[in-house]
Amino acid sequence: MYNLKPGHSYPQGATVYEDGTNFAIYSENATAVSLEFYDTPYDEYPSETIHLKEKDGYIWHVFVSGIKPGTLYNYRIDGPYKPELGLRFNKNKLLIDPYARAITSDVTWNKSVYGYDTDSDQKDLSFSTENDSQFVPKSVVYKDNFDWKGVENPDIPWNNTLIYETHIKGFTKLRADIGENIRGTYSGLGSQKMIDYLKDLGITAVEIMPAQQEVTAEYLYDKKLTNYWGYDTIGYFAPDIRFSSTKKPGDQINEFKNMVKNLHENNIEVIMDVVYNHTAEGNELGPTLSFKGIDNLVYYKLQADNPRYYYDVTGTGNSLDAGHPQVLRLIMDSLRYWITEMHVDGFRFDLASALARQLYDVNSLSAFFDIIYQDPVISRVKLIAEPWDVGPGGYQVGEFPPMWAEWNGKYRDAIRHYWKDRGVNISEFATRISGSPDLYQTSGRRPHSSINYVTSHDGFTMYDLVSYTNKHNENNLNDNKDGTDDNISENFGIEGKTDDNKIKYLRNKRIRSFFITLLTSQGSPMILGGDEIMRTQNGNNNAYCQDNEISWYDWNLDDERLKLLNFVKNMVNIRKKYAVLRRRNFFKGEIIPGTDIKDVIWVKPDGTEMSEEDWTSGNNKAIGVILTAIGMERVFSEPVSYDNLMLIFNPTEDKINFSIPKRWKKAQIIIDSLPEHENFPIGISDTVLNIEPQSAYILEEP
């Protein structure tokens, strides 16, 4: 029998002291709260049950002497079960602590994990009396004991940032030159071999797909599929144990920290993809694992006229109610924890518009943004929004507040259209590669607010973008109905893989043109991991459930893939070398004081400057842009070149003669997208260049 004391209501979760552990959990509408301890993750009965008596501000709390790190625990919470009123308490269901620092496992699916009788015709209006202790993951008591050895966060300026979006498991699962026991784990990503790869590529930040504890939904489990992407979170403080090399509950915390420390030692930041817009508990027919049983009315948005049902703007069955003070506190506590305890450098918020909904409308002045803006910890890291959700008015690209960067879906679509449609959207193309000033300049933001990307985890890889006209998601076992049909892709004549050298050449050239476009655009570039080595998902544009070779990176690189890798490294080095590609401020399109030239000049193939009429006439497809470094702020700490560059883009099917200024007669081509060109620079000696079809060039002024 443990010695009990009242304890404290703050902080929430399990907090370890020398003589025991304080437990605190929030529930407004509960009538009773019990804390249970377990010896193993799959025990049917607890080793001890403690009934909490103290409650302050709806936070139930108790101090239990003798409880040490590694102890397994969960809660049972009693209260009214009235789904028609939004109340779903069920004391028969074991509940994960929302503040748990570690969680033991995924859910073991059994009908007892549902709060209702799944066999009843009344569905969720019925009540389940079955005990689910054996099947629900347990929370783990944890005390920080990690030595960071003085390693500090890199704190890389936004305009120097190059993001590499990757999946922790997929990145290293097939990597033969690291230990088999760490492939697909935090330790694998944090291994020196993989860090050297990222450094050699020029990456400054890895954006890891969700690494907070998630749940694989039962419908996927029944199909022998899995929640590979991880966008169904259940533990907002807990690193996902599936990426642990030991699978011992609690070990995943220090393993995650060690990964971060190793990356930081090599000047690489860690940005986490986080999912605070919904949880893994689904809709009214979903399981009761944590929030739903702790206080459904508090944690979720419910339909105003019928609170039995959830207000879903995420497409997953539920939406967290970020407007409720406790939910907002949970999110902020979680973010601060990952920053202060886990040392991450920033976050990418999945479906961020859902968090901005004040009541039911998207509002950029919502409490969520207000609190982040004034938080001295969270406001100082990199904050990236996926600026949309699936609800009304949810597409909010360009509408987020200052200090936020955004995944720029308009950039992605414009770049794809420009190359696929042979330049018909030249005006928008020019706007997007200029940092999208139409979206960000008037709100006090800088070009870096635009996270530029051609591909991401959600959709085709870059190789598939040039190899498939249609999605091929048959392996998802949903009759190929999932995933978008609007891919803005083309296959150059054959769907999928081919041995046709002409088609392979065209695909290689398009990929290089994409990379040149991406890495010369003003803003913050993001590369989808594996695009640099032609990673393919065989046409699957929604591989969320494919924890297999469809998603894992194939590191057996043939000559074609090695050549592309070297090309991308070269292109990244060019971006890092030339200051004019990483401007802190938007172009003005005006004469630079003390000179006779503009900071940016858009030119037609005949060498004359684009006029207002030229942008709208529809006659111009290919374009050149002269970027002038004169007058730029000298803000870079590393050695950089302040030379002027000229970019030339020809998306058409025809070879064109492109006139360049006379002073550029002895310029050199520092890179182009022709696969046969491997050695740069290439000197030129004329003012008219033959520009190949569907290709891009970068010239350096002599």
- Containing 239, the helix (H) or strand (E) segment is strand 233-239
- Cα-Cα end-to-end distance for the chain: 82
Task: Quote the CA–CA distance of 104 and 124 in Å, as a whole number.
Answer: 28
Look-up: residue for tokens 């590609």? 581
Task: Quote the CA–CA distance of 386 and 399 in Å, as a whole number.
Answer: 11
The token pair that represents 321 in the structure block? 């109610």
**CA dihedral defined by 293, 296, 297, 302, rounded to 10 degrees?**
-160
Strands 656-659 and 688-691: antiparallel
User: What is the number of other CB atoms lying within 10 angstroms of the CB of residue 266?
Assistant: 15
Residues in the chain: 702
Max distance between CA atoms of the chain, in angstroms, equals: 90
Task: Quote the CA–CA distance of 92 and 77 in Å, as a whole number.
Answer: 8
| E-state strands within 474-576 | 524-528
94 to each of 91, 107, 163, 567, how far by Cα in Å?
8, 12, 40, 54
- Containing 37, the helix (H) or strand (E) segment is strand 32-38
Torsional sign, CA 513, 514, 519, 521: positive
320 to each of 124, 240, 611, how far by Cα in Å?
20, 20, 50
Active-site choice (106, 273, 312, 386): 386
Task: Quote the CA–CA distance of 172 and 157 in Å, as a whole number.
Answer: 28
Look-up: residue for tokens 């935090």? 186
**CA dihedral defined by 449, 211, 182, 42, rounded to 10 degrees?**
180
| DSSP secondary structure string for all residues of 121-173 | TTGGGS------TTTSPPEE--------TT-------GGG--EEEE-HHHHHT
Active-site choice (36, 207, 232, 350): 350
Residue type, 394: G
According to DSSP, the residues that pair with 214 across neighbouring strands are: 233
User: What is the number of other CB atoms lying within 10 angstroms of the CB of residue 631?
Assistant: 12
User: What is the number of other CB atoms lying within 10 angstroms of the CB of residue 42?
Assistant: 15
Reply yes or no on whether 370 is catalytic. no
Residue 671 dihedral angles phi and psi, to the nearest 5° = -170, 150
Look-up: residue for tokens 């120097």? 160
The token pair that represents 626 in the structure block? 């002269």
DSSP-derived 3-state class of residue 605: coil
3-state secondary structure 459-489: CCCHHHHCCCCCCCCHHHCCCCCCCCCCCCC
Say which residues have a Cβ less than 8 Å from residue 74's Cβ, sequence separation at least 6: 36, 38, 94, 95, 96, 97, 136, 138, 139
Residue type, 392: P
Burial class (CB within 10 angstroms; exposed 0-12, middle 13-18, buried 19+) of 5: middle
User: What is the number of other CB atoms lying within 10 angstroms of the CB of residue 182?
Assistant: 19
Reply yes or no on whether 350 is catalytic. yes
DSSP H helical segments within 266-362, as ranges? Answer: 291-299, 325-340, 352-355
Query: Which among 189, 183, 237 is positioned nearest to 212, based on CA atoms?
Result: 237
Residues assigned a catalytic role: 350, 386
